[in-house]
Each structure stands twice: as structure tokens, then as C-alpha cells.
Amino acid sequence: MIDMRELIKLGLIFLLTFLYAFLRYINFGDVELKDVPTIIINKAVAFTLVIWMFFLLWSWKNLYTEKLKMQLNILQSLIFIHIFLSIVLLSQQKLPKFLENAQLTLWANFTVLTGTITLSLFFFFVKNLSRVNFLLFSIFLKLHLFFMGYKGWLRPENWNGSMPPITLLCFCILLIIDMLVLKTSNK
């Protein structure tokens, strides 16, 4: 059964991440309004899924089986939306930083590779819930984020509206999650 509180929480997280992406990339950036359904939604979905993971792992031990299953299904749905939108954006060549002469750059290839490994590790993690498996999944997700965005992380003067890139924010959230997972595994 669907828990309405969880859906409201998901909706609020998505709304906040959408507003952040809209402000950063439309208001202060150079993304066109016509690209909201793909570029901005994709960024908001990716940001939402990392925040969702934070809340999921924050209450890991307190989740009963059905609620955990529902939260993992929501996470899986967000991952598939992100993958589908990313494929659409790459096929339309809407991500110029990943392309050079209509070919994927080396860093784009690493982004795709680590994203693919992360997806397979997610399914392994879901079937074998453990802190170690989560940390392995998290390492590859952070690598995916790193290859995607590290070039912009160290140049705050280039941040649209002085707002940090979503990849950097997600990377930092994952580091916090990792620390929480490691801290609770020592108890």
C-alpha cells in the first residue's frame, strides 16, 4: 500500500530540487525554457533520488519491510527516469560538455561507465541489503557524479547565480550518508 506521507515527502523534495535546478540553470544559467521537461526535470530527479537515499538510510533500521520495499521502489523509479531522460538528452546532443565532434568525451564515457556499474550495484544492493553493499554502490555513484561534474566544482566564480552544481551537492550528501552508515555500523 502507498503511504501518502511518503508521497508528500517525495513531492516536496522534488519541488525543492526542481526550484533549485530551475533557478540555477534557467534563471542564472543558459538553459532555455523549452528544455525544462528534459534537462531541468532530469537534474531535479537526480537530486531528488540522492536526497531520497539520505532519508531512506537515515531511518534504515526503523523501516518495516513493506515501507522499505516501497521506498526502494520509489528510488528505482527515480533512477529509471533519470536514465531515460539522460539517454534522450545524449541522443539529442543537449549535453555539449559530454560531446566533442559529435562523440562522447573521455569523461562522458567514464560517466556512462560508472553510471552503468552503479545501476547494476543498485540491484545487487536491493537484493542484498547491507551497509558494505551500500558503500560499494555509493562509491560508484560518487565516481559517476565526479566524472560528470568535477570540472565545475572547483570554479565557484563560474557557478550560475553562485549556486553550487547539483553534482557537487549530491556528492556531498553521499559523503554525509557514507559517514552515517559507517558510524551506525560501528554500534
104-116 residue pLDDT tens = 899 999 999 999 9
Lookup: cell for 30: 543558459
- Where along the chain do its domains lie? 4-185
pLDDT at 100 exceeding the cut of 90: no
116-156 residue pLDDT tens = 999 999 888 888 877 888 889 999 999 999 999 999 999 99
pLDDT at 70 exceeding the cut of 60: yes
DSSP string, the chain: ---HHHHHHHHHHHHHHHHHHIIIIIISSS--GGGIIIIIHHHHHHHHHHHHHHHHHHTGGG--HHHHHHHHHHHHHHHHHHHHHHHHHHHTT--GGGEETTEE-HHHHHHHHHHHHHHHHHHHHHHS--HHHHHHHHHHHHHHHHHHHHHHHT-GGGSGGGPPPHHHHHHHHHHHHHHHHHHHHT-
* Residue bearing the bigger pLDDT, 56 or 174: 174
Lookup: cell for 75: 528510488
What pLDDT sits at residue 13? 97
What pLDDT sits at residue 153? 96
61 to 9, 51, 128, 175, 185: CA distances (angstroms)? 19, 18, 15, 20, 11
* Residue bearing the bigger pLDDT, 61 or 156: 156
| Total-model pTM | 0.91
Average pLDDT of the chain is 89
What pLDDT sits at residue 62? 59
14-41 residue pLDDT tens = 999 999 999 999 999 999 999 999 999 9
